[in-house]
Copies of this chain bind each other. A is one copy, B any other.
Amino acid sequence: MKIGIVGLGLIGGSLGLKLQSLNHTIYGIANNEFNEKKAKEKKLANYVSCDSSLLKNCELIILALPINDLISPSERLVASIPRKAIVTDVGSVKESIVNKWENLHPLFIGSHPMAGTEKHGVNSGFEGLFKNAKWIVTPTQNSDPNAVETISDLIKSMDCEICQASPKEHDEAVSLISHLPIFLASALIKTAYTKNNQSLLDLTQNLAATGFADTSRVGGGNEKLGLDLAMNNQINILNAINIFKNKLSTLESLIKEKNWELLFNQLAETKEIRKNFIN
């Protein structure tokens, strides 16, 4: 298939490499001439250009852009997408993107691969990124069934596991397991940063080990992504924070009241529950 990829960062670049290995012809759009040159060197696509008219013969187009560029796409990009092409995106929120693009293009289907690393940019893509990843497809009642099938088949061909949900369900689920952890980790880092007590701060920074490193990891990630998620999944994230605060307050009360039996049961319960989330 002739496949266009708009954006050649971690996700777009990895897609370009993987889809070429499956014998598709890839037309990649870079955001500037420096990245165009890099993308050509790294062979992220068969053809690379900053000019989106390169997409004119593509049958399927993947928009691998930051969330805000998906919600406010350039007119030039929209005009460059052939009306007959099937279009998907790979953004981490779905409702606002799908609402926008269903009005822009008849064959748009939202999707979201659960894959990533700490890196970003044109040097970060690699062919194995999607191996065994979950990939959520979010069709609506407006979606063309053939377009859903084509995109799903393409995703499966990349060794990914398809999962279907409405855009609304998707955004609610990721607010709990993916967006909430970012804000918890950020608040944890702030808590440990006792800047008014330098000797305690020296000690905590010296002692912090794997438990702190893991629990705080996603609080050390790309602040632009964290902001985009808050902007575009605001209500679900606020709801998740609210539920979390209640759960934490329950534990706090048990500790305050020295209700050790119930605290033990809660910790034992969450240990068991966690196993259902982690493969």
Contact = CB atoms under 8 A, between A and B. Distances in A.
Given A178-B209, A244-B188, A278-B213, A256 B238 contact: yes
Interface in A211-267: 211-221, 223-224, 226-227, 230-231, 234, 237-238, 240-245, 247-252, 255-256, 258, 260, 263-264, 266-267
A230 to B, nearest CB: 5
10 contacts: A176-B194, A177-B212, A187-B247, A187-B251, A208-B278, A214-B218, A219-B271, A224-B264, A227-B260, A245-B248
Contact of A173 (B200, B211, B250, B256): B200
A31 interface: no
B207 A173 contact: yes
B220 A217 contact: no
Contacts of A212: 177-178, 181, 277-278
A123 to B, nearest CB: 20
Interface in A96-154: 114-115, 134, 136
Given A189-B277, A251-B187, A215 B213 contact: no
A219 B117 CA distance: 23
A191 B278 contact: no
| Residue among A115, A178, A211, A242 with most chain B CB within 10 A | A211
Contacts of A191: 176, 180, 240, 243-244, 247
Contacts of A206: 134, 163
A214 B184 CA distance: 12
A231 B250 CA distance: 16
A186 B234 contact: no
A199 interface: yes
Contacts of A115: 209
